[in-house]
């Protein structure tokens, strides 16, 4: 009788192991599906939040329209990116340099072609202006505002068909 009980227990244990394996396989599949859904949802959320809405371009036009509100000044092509400027600053030590990347807001899209034609002169004026500044001149918020005004003035001196209305620093690094 003892042998029969032991055999029955072994049979029951043998039946429990496949049940445990089935449960762990189901659990593994459920966890895998949940992970795939979470990663997919996070990727979709990132795309829609940071890449702009589908079918609306790259988001720059939407940002320009928001900045102008109801004025109606925003037009496609009303912004112009400039290549980076890297200059030495006029500090006593002479070891600091400035890297500045700017975007110009144009009064009208038509002056984009004129900017392209006169870009060597404009870049020369901006380089002269930036290299004449010291770290103390540009390290504060009022200093940066004054620098933006001076850049607008220098650019507009070279333009005949329109004007640049604002300058945005997209990168501003002093080292």
What does each C-alpha distance from 150 to 39, 90, 153 come to in angstroms? 48, 17, 5
Per-chain mean pLDDT for the chain: 79
* Residue 87 pLDDT: 94
All domains in the chain, ordered by first residue: 75-174 (3.30.479.30)
Distance between CA atoms of residues 8 and 19, nearest Å: 17
Q: Return d(Cα 17, Cα 134) in angstroms, integer.
A: 77
Predicted pLDDT of residue 3: 59
* DSSP for 94-156, written as a single string: ---EEEEEEEEEESSTTHHHHHHHTHHHHHHHHHHHHHT--HHHHSSHHHHHHHHHHHHHHHH
Give the Cα separation of 175 and 24 in Å (integer).
57
Tens digit of pLDDT for each residue in 1-46? 555 666 665 555 555 555 566 678 888 889 988 888 888 888 777 7
* Predicted local distance difference test score (pLDDT) of residue 20: 60
pLDDT reported for residue 16: 52
Q: What is the pLDDT of residue 19?
A: 58
Would you state the structure tokens that stand for residue 34, as one six-digit string?
């949940």
SS3 (DSSP) at 65: helix
pTM: 0.56
Tens digit of pLDDT at every position of the chain (175 positions): 555 666 665 555 555 555 566 678 888 889 988 888 888 888 777 777 776 544 444 444 444 444 444 343 444 448 999 999 999 998 877 688 999 999 999 998 889 999 999 999 999 999 999 999 999 999 999 999 999 999 999 999 999 989 999 999 999 999 8
Residues listed for the chain: 175
Q: What are phi and psi of 23, to 5 degrees?
A: -65, -45
Can you give the pLDDT at residue 10?
Answer: 58
Describe the crossing of helices 119-131 and 141-158 by its angle, rounded to 10 degrees: 150
């Amino acid at each position: 009788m003892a042998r029969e009980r032991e055999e029955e227990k072994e049979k029951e244990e043998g039946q429990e192991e496949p049940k445990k394996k089935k449960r762990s396989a189901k659990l593994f599949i459920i966890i895998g599906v949940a992970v795939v859904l979470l990663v997919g949802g996070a990727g979709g959320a990132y795309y829609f939040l940071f890449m702009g809405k589908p079918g609306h371009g790259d988001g720059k036009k939407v940002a320009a329209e928001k900045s102008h509100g109801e004025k109606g000044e925003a037009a496609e092509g009303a912004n112009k990116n400039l290549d980076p400027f890297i200059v030495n600053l006029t500090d006593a030590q002479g070891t600091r340099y400035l890297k500045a990347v700017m975007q110009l807001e144009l009064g009208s899209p038509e002056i984009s072609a004129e900017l392209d034609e006169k870009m060597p002169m404009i870049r020369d004026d901006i380089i002269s202006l930036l290299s004449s500044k010291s770290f103390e001149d540009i390290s504060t918020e009022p200093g940066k505002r004054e620098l933006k005004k001076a850049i607008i003035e220098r650019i507009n001196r070279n333009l005949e068909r329109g004007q640049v209305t604002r300058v945005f620093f997209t990168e501003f690094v002093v080292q």
